């Protein structure tokens, strides 16, 4: 057991150092870090509260005093965007965590047990996956109502499928491995085998899925709030700052009201994707090189002639 911990520690260190050397991850992490920090210290950075109303200076374009302009009530857009980031990122992260949680539990159970349970859950996931995401989200919103927490729950309920499939896939391949047989012969209970033995080996796709889902949910929140059906406008999120863009006049005349929120979302999402790519490279270097190596290997072996 002690040895295990030691090994795990050095693996963790190796992993972190690898990650920090991966160009994709570096770019992504920088972007995300900057944005998260500025979201947390929004008011300090912007110098003015996002709720400070100043109608006199309303509807001004970007300038020295207001880096990103003001809205119709004279509120500083820069400040609003920074604090909007707080909510959006919060929603994205928590929802992703929840969705991953659900997906992992379902995936590991279905993947390990197989049979009818697996068939049923698979069918369910297929069905849910094929529903256009927004429609599904809307249906749930109509049942549960709006608000940050409800939005998070809805996203988790509609977004667990990718993680589920990934984990299930891994479990299918892993459960045939020798160490599982050994565990079974030791008489370990099923939950113990599933969660303490097999699951740790499936961490890499889960982590990657986690990052990707953050991006997906932030965009989903944007769409939902843009329609006015997500987080109520009282709490600014990147998404509901975009509601302003429902008005064509705004779209055309007061472009700063929506372009900056949109850009923020796009940047953050890109950053998350970079991190995800980097993670994928590092966590499963066998994944990327395995795929590449397998490709070359196949070509090479194919050229050299098959071995028996």
Partner 1 sequence: MTQSTAKDLILDLKNVNVKFKVEDDTLHILRDVSFSLPRGSFLCVVGESGCGKSVTAQAIVQLLPDNGEISSGEIHFSQNGQVVELNKLEKFGKQMRDIRGGKIGMIFQDTLSSLNPAHKVGRQVAESLLQHLPISKAEARTQVIELFRKLGIPDPERRYEAYPHEFSGGMRQRVMIAIATVCEPDLVIADEPTTALDVTIQAQIMTLLKELQKSAGKSFILITHNMALVSEVADHVAVMYLGRVVEYGTVDQVLRDPRHPYTKALMASVPTLDADKDIELQTVDGQTPSPAEVTIGCEFVGRCPYAIDVCKDRTIEMTQVNPGHDVRCIRLDSNGKLPVLTGGAKDE
Partner 2 sequence: MISFLIRRISILAPMALTISALIFFASRLSPIDPINAMVSPDQAADSANLNQLREELGLNDHIILQYFRWLKNIATGEFGYSLQSGQKISEILALRMPATLELVLSALVLSTILALTLGLFAGAKKGGFADKLSRVLAVIGIAMPDFFIGLALLNVFAYRVAWLPTGNRVAPGQVTFWDRLPNLILPVATLTISMLAVLIRYTRNSVLDTLNRDFVKTARSKGVPEWRVLYSHVFRNSLGPVMVLLAFRLPLLVGGSILVESVFQWPGIGSTIIAAVSASDYPVIMVVSMLIAMVILVASFLVDIIKSILDPRVRLEGGK
- In the complex, least distance from residue 138 CB atom to partner 2, rounded to whole angstroms: 5
Q: From partner 2, partner 1, none, which one binds at residue 209 (CB under 5 to 8 Å depending on kind)?
A: none
List 219, 231, 241, 282, residue binding partner 2 (CB under 8 A): 219
Q: From partner 2, partner 1, none, which one binds at residue 33 (CB under 5 to 8 Å depending on kind)?
A: none
Strand partners, 76: 70
Cα distance between residue 263 and residue 35, in whole Å = 12
Shorter beta-carbon distance to partner 2: residue 236 or 276: 276
Shorter beta-carbon distance to partner 1: residue 200 or 305: 305
Number of chain positions touching partner 1 (CB under 8 A): 14
List 13, 21, 123, 190, residue binding partner 2 (CB under 8 A): 123
Angle at 125 between CA 124 and CA 127, to 5 degrees: 65
Among 251, 219, 214, 253, CA closest to 238 = 219
Cα distance between residue 285 and residue 289, in whole Å = 6
Cα distance between residue 210 and residue 47, in whole Å = 33
Within 10 angstroms of residue 109's Cβ, the number of other Cβ atoms is 21
Residue 226 lies near partner 2 (rule: CB under 8 A): yes
Q: Are 228 and 102 in contact (CB under 8 A)?
A: no
Q: Are 237 and 88 in contact (CB under 8 A)?
A: yes
List 40, 148, 153, 270, residue binding partner 2 (CB under 8 A): 270
Q: From partner 2, partner 1, none, which one binds at residue 252 (CB under 5 to 8 Å depending on kind)?
A: partner 2
List 145, 179, 292, 294, residue binding partner 1 (CB under 8 A): 292
List 119, 232, 293, 294, residue binding partner 1 (CB under 8 A): 293
Residue 306 lies near partner 1 (rule: CB under 8 A): yes
- In the complex, least distance from residue 293 CB atom to partner 1, rounded to whole angstroms: 7
Angle at 84 between CA 78 and CA 90, to 5 degrees: 145
Shorter beta-carbon distance to partner 1: residue 131 or 296: 296
Cα distance between residue 176 and residue 166, in whole Å = 17
SS3 of 76, please?
strand
Chain centre distance of CA 290: 25
Q: Tell me how far apart the 2 most distant CA atoms of the chain are, in Å.
A: 83
Residue 296 lies near partner 1 (rule: CB under 8 A): yes
Using CB under 8 A as the criterion, which residues of the chain lie in contact with partner 1 when the complex forms?
Answer: 289, 292-293, 296-297, 299-300, 302-308
Using CB under 8 A as the criterion, which residues of the chain lie in contact with partner 2 when the complex forms?
Answer: 123, 126-127, 130-132, 134-135, 138-139, 141-143, 215, 219, 222-223, 226-229, 245-246, 248, 251-252, 255, 258, 262, 265-267, 269-270, 273, 295, 298-299, 302
């Amino acid at each position: 057991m002690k040895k295990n911990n030691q090994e795990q520690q050095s693996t963790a260190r190796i992993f972190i150092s690898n990650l920090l050397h991966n160009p994709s991850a570096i770019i992504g992490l920088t972007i995300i870090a900057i944005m998260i920090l500025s979201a947390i210290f929004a008011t300090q950075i912007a110098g003015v509260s996002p709720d400070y109303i100043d109608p006199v200076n309303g509807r001004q374009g970007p300038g020295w005093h207001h880096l990103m302009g003001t809205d119709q009530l004279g509120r500083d857009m820069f400040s609003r965007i920074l604090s909007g980031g707080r909510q959006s990122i919060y929603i994205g992260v928590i929802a992703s965590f929840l969705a991953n949680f659900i997906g992992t539990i379902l995936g590991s159970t279905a993947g390990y047990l197989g049979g009818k349970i697996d068939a049923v859950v698979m069918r369910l996931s297929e069905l849910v996956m094929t529903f256009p995401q927004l429609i599904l989200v809307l249906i749930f919103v109509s049942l549960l109502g709006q608000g940050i927490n409800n939005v998070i729950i809805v996203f988790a309920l509609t977004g667990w499928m990718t993680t589920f499939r990934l984990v299930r896939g891994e479990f299918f391949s892993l459960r045939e491995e020798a160490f599982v047989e050994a565990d079974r012969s030791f008489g370990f209970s099923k939950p113990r085998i599933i969660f303490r033995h097999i699951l740790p080996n499936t961490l890499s796709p889960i982590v990657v899925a986690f990052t990707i889902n953050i991006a997906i949910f932030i965009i989903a929140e944007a769409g939902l709030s843009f329609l006015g059906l997500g987080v109520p406008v009282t709490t600014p999120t990147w998404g509901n700052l975009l509601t302003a863009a429902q008005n064509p006049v705004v779209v055309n005349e007061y472009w700063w009201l929506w372009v900056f929120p949109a850009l923020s979302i796009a940047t953050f999402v890109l950053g998350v994707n970079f991190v995800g790519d980097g993670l994928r490279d590092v966590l499963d270097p066998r994944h990327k090189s395995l795929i590449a190596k397998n490709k070359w290997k196949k070509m090479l072996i194919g050229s050299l002639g098959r071995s028996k």
